[in-house]
Structure 1
Amino acid sequence: METKEFTITDDLLASKGQRFLNLIIDLFIVYMFTVGIGAAINIIGELTGNFKLSEWITSLTIVENVIFGLVVLFFYYTIMELYFSRTFGKYFTKTVVIKHNGSKPKVKSIVIRTLVRMIPIEAFSFLSGNSRGWHDTLSVTYVVNKHEFISKMKL
């Protein structure tokens, strides 16, 4: 019995427009989570009368705020892509993260994807002719159109 291995073809890859929209939506979601966490800490401080944590949050420097945002970003992308193979942005654009053989990425690949996203100039890696960024190539993952991918997998 012959088994044919699945391979990703260019027609399955998400477009640069979809990838950019994913980025915008996901950064907005991360921002909302970050603001929501800060607001929740302030509300808890008000309810309990303990303002130490809320004072700490409001006294963060710009660098500390960026680090806090990066921690939220790390957990957002890692949890969403690990458990669902997609983020809210990918859900909206109907795309999904997969490995080269069509399987769901493992923890190592997702963590690599997420850490590489934190390189400040990583977003510019999409300016080349390729629709894959550094976080795709270094983690050996692909972002594909979900419905086309499922159709091709069935074949």
Structure 2
Amino acid sequence: MLARRTKRFVNNLIDLTPFYIISYGLIYSLFYLGEYLDNYELSQLLMNLSYLEELIIHSIIIVFYYFIFESLSFRSMGKHATNTIVIMNNGQAPTPNDILNGGLCRTNPFDALSFLGTNGKGWHDVLSKTYVVDIEKFKTGQILANELDQIGQSTD
């Protein structure tokens, strides 16, 4: 039922596209707004951002990106493309707090390395107690579980 590593990798590649569009769009918009308003201090501030400041801005954007998409549909753009969904370890839908926790865990710069392990789960999944599953396999599993619960029950 778990999404394969290749699907998780494709999810990440697809999700990087809107992330970079948002990140650079925001920074360039603020830069050109400063230029347009003759506020060269804003332009200089953006041009002189340190690596740490850029990392903080990107972390905030990534948390918001996943929080907005996964709070609405439990799927990011990458998950929509690969037909996967995020669920809790008990099979239930994650709460907004669970999704926020997963997004915050993604800001760990070593999170991508966690997929090199044998189980193919990222630290953001482990720490937020979520799974990324194939939707069709998950639905099939739900139907089977429901039918097993009904064994021995009267149909009268």
Q: Quickly name the TM-score band, shorter chain normalised.
A: 0.7 to 0.9
* Cα distance, 1:42 vs structure 2: 2.9
Structure-2 residue corresponding to 1:56? 45
- 5 Å-filtered alignment, 1:104-115, equals 104-115=93-104
In structure 2, how many angstroms separate the alpha carbons of the residues matched to 1:105 and 1:140? 9
Question: Which consecutive unaligned segments of at least 5 residues does structure 2 have?
Answer: 145-156
Structure-2 residue corresponding to 1:30? 19
- C-alpha contact 1:97 1:141 (8 A) present in aligned 2: yes
Selected match of 1:92 from 81, 89, 105? 81
The one of the two structures with greater contact order (alpha-carbon pairs below 8 A, sep at least 6) is 1
In structure 1, how many angstroms separate the alpha carbons of the residues matched to 2:10 and 2:28? 27
Selected match of 1:80 from 64, 69, 81? 69
* Cα distance, 1:49 vs structure 2: 4.0
Secondary structure of 2:120's counterpart equals coil
Structure-1 residue corresponding to 2:34? 45
Runs of 4+ in 1 over 4 A off after TM superposition: none
- C-alpha contact 1:13 1:131 (8 A) present in aligned 2: no
* Percentage identity across paired residues of the two chains: 38
Question: Structure 1 length as normaliser, TM-score?
Answer: 0.82
Report the aligned-residue RMSD.
Answer: 1.8
Secondary structure of 1:63's counterpart equals helix
* Cα distance, 1:51 vs structure 2: 4.0
* Cα distance, 1:26 vs structure 2: 1.4
Secondary structure of 2:131's counterpart equals strand
Question: Structure 2 length as normaliser, TM-score?
Answer: 0.81
